[in-house]
Structure 1
Amino acid sequence: MSKVLVVGSINMDLVAQVDQFPRLGETLFGRSFKTYHGGKGANQAVAASRLGAEVTMIGRVGDDAFGQELTASLIAEGVNTEWIQRSANTTSGIAMITLAGSDNAIIVVPGANADLSVEDLLAAENAFRDCDVVIAQFESPLATIEMAAQLAQSHGKPFILNPAPAMPLSPALLAQVALLTPNEFELSIALGTPENEWQAALQQYPGQILMTAGKDGVWYTTESGELRQQTSFNVNAVDTTGAGDTFNGALAAFWHLGLSEASRIACAAGALSVTRAGAQGGMPTLAELNSFLAGDTK
């Protein structure tokens, strides 16, 4: 199993369940409210750890009760939190999530995540040396993510970038990415190309982009430019929150198996994650994933 280094966000998710999304200016009664541990970085770290990877995380939390709880939760999940810092006089990051059926709408307030700095990464350079693969997202400052890519490259480690929330990618950063994992919308923003030209974009960067496509699974190209699809798995969806993070965490955990097999396993993990509520609450263990895959004929 891969040794995974995650650079990214740590949030508390505040989740309200409603019958339908409110319109602008409208107040609706909700069905329920719960808190869950989240943040794209922490989610991917937990996903990889539950699947048996040795995971280290670099991130920041606030000096509040959420920060204490979030760090303790990562430790309980087997994640190495040596490089998670606490920002003084700052709240931890939060995500306000509204669920309507199997759909979600999310507002993220970065809090301490915005303090994750280039200096934090340089102080943790040994973590880059000791890992097998590095994965990051865009819920941390761009300069910090660019430094993560540079450190990964300098230590000869593949750098997986999940470009969410979506933003344009510089040619310099893209050149340092071993694998970009956007959805169709994020791919369009990242490369500045029309959404309906995603196939051309994948073939322009052979072996470097894997595009997630929801119920259609994922699309990617081989290093020779051959377009391939890994189809999705049929499950009864309860909550889609965190499915993409589960996919990315699993992809990093099984990176050593090659893109084809890693993407198949990651699709299965992502499918399992939507069968239970919560971003991290739905993430499968290795035993659950193996059991699920035992009946797979794809």
Structure 2
Amino acid sequence: MSVVVVGSLNMDLVVRVGRHPRPGETILGSDYETHCGGKGANQAVAAARTLGKPAPAKAGATPPQPLVRMVGRVGQDEFGQRLRNSLKREQINVHAVLPIPTPTGVAFIAVNEKGENTIIVSPGANYRLRPENLTPAEFDGAKVVVLQLEIPLDTVRRAAELGRSAGARVILNAAPAQKLPEKLLEQVDLLVVNESEALSLTGVAPASPEKALELARQLSQKVARVVITLGEQGAVWAEPAASGYQPALRVESVDNTGAGDAFVGALAAALYEGHSLVEAVRWGVVAGALATTRVGAQSALPCRTEVLEGVARLS
């Protein structure tokens, strides 16, 4: 059994600035850094670190299979090779991360003194992952399937259908925000959105945890289970029989790049292990908070021990 992540792989080009520029304005920033990223790859790494390494095989037994499998596309370039090698080091199955003759996706990220970021994504190879490229083989043995919206929407829908057919729980992180077709939502078991994405889907801003909880219940009329993340305020959740609010773990934040992906990956890992949605949200809140205490996306994602210790602090 495995967590299957279908989504984007990007090389993040990060520059730190005192403040974000206004339209038409040029400002000076730090030396830029390169970090492996992409919402799909970030969430795969977050899930793998939260799950920890597979138990070693006994002498003579078949080596254990990775617990996380990534499906995506990269370019036949240096960035693409670095992204695949980075996932391999995390013990993630990359057999379905195929290099193709087009540029690897790139994200241009500016981070201000408060740790807030602005991001521009050039999708590159990510947008060459088409529905016809996906087959049931990629979803064989999937227990949880994780999707985002940095690949074509038709591909997301096909992945959701194949995940559901495989008997997996399908998680859709509806980011970046866009209109979602009903036929996609019908295949989704759990919808995860942040404040801006909740606004895009409902037309109402979740200005407080109370309002966010109201919107989560509203969205749960379309998808049975909904989570709205609220940054430093935590997250709310709703499912058919209950709903609730989970405050955040208090930390000293330096960079919130990848925090949402940390949340989704840890959430998926908890559900893979059989935890309730309530407990999975706690894992996600902790992982998201810890990811803000370090610079970068994948480089900032916490390991299993850190997540479990943070969850204990919430108790």
TM-score band (shorter)? over 0.9
Q: 1:97 aligns with which of 78, 90, 109?
A: 109
Q: How does 1:1-298 map to 2 (within 5 A)?
A: 3-52=2-51, 54-88=67-101, 90-101=102-113, 102-122=115-135, 125-190=136-201, 192-196=202-206, 198-204=212-218, 205=220, 207-224=224-241, 226-255=242-271, 256-294=274-312, 296-298=313-315
**1:194 Cα deviation after fit:** 2.5
* Residues 3 and 253 in structure 1, CA contact (< 8 A), matched pair in contact too: no
* Residues 71 and 81 in structure 1, CA contact (< 8 A), matched pair in contact too: yes
Structure 1 residues without counterparts, runs of 5 or longer: none
* Residues 193 and 201 in structure 1, CA contact (< 8 A), matched pair in contact too: no
Which range moves more in the overlay, 40-49 or 175-184?
175-184
Output the CA distance in 2 between the equivalents of 1:71 and 1:233: 32
* TM-score (structure 2 length as normaliser): 0.88
* TM-score (structure 1 length as normaliser): 0.93
Residue of structure 1 equivalent to 2:61? none
Q: Deviations over 1:197-253 (max 9, x none)?
A: 6544422316421111112211111322x3300110100001100000000000111
The number of equivalent residue pairs is 291
Residue of structure 1 equivalent to 2:56? none
Output the CA distance in 1 between the equivalents of 2:168 and 2:236: 23
Q: Deviations over 1:258-291 (max 9, x none)?
A: 1011110111111111111100111111122233
* Residues 7 and 57 in structure 1, CA contact (< 8 A), matched pair in contact too: yes
* Residues 222 and 228 in structure 1, CA contact (< 8 A), matched pair in contact too: no
What's the RMSD between the two structures over aligned residues? 1.6
The percentage of counterpart residues that share the same residue type is 43
* Residues 8 and 40 in structure 2, CA contact (< 8 A), matched pair in contact too: yes
Q: Deviations over 1:156-178 (max 9, x none)?
A: 21110000110111111112110
